Amino acid sequence: MSMTVNNKYRIGERVYFINDKKQAECDEIQAVFVYIWKEKTRVSYSMKSSFITVDESDVFATPADVKEYVFKDLIEFV
């Protein structure tokens, strides 16, 4: 049996995320962790400078993506 995991980001890539203090931060990915259960897969990224691990759903490619995520419930698209 084989499995393919499609993660969004790669080691060495600079990404944005919201830290525990609710501040946006930019850091470089130093490791990718993949957790596989029978019916679920989870990807997390370890950050180089801040020494934390962030779930893939909380990692963003650009500052604009962070803003969109933070303000998604306040923005009304027409």
Q: pLDDT digit string (tens) for 27-39?
A: 999 999 999 888 8
**Position with higher pLDDT, 63 vs 2:** 63
Q: Which strand ranges, in their side-by-side order, compose the sheet holding 53-55?
A: 53-55, 41-47, 24-36, 14-18, 59-60
Q: Does residue 9 carry a pLDDT above 90? A: yes
Answer yes or no: are the C-beta atoms of 33 and 17 closer than 8 Å: no
Give every CB contact of residue 23 below 8 A, 6+ residues apart in sequence: none
Find the angle CA(16)-CA(46)-CA(19) to the nearest 5 degrees: 45
Q: Does residue 78 carry a pLDDT above 60? A: no
Q: Map out the domains of the chain as residue ranges.
A: 14-70
pLDDT tens digit string along 26-77? 999 999 999 988 888 899 999 999 889 999 999 999 999 999 888 877 766 5
Looking at residue 1, its pLDDT comes to 64
**E-assigned strands of 19-65?**
24-36, 41-47, 53-55, 59-60
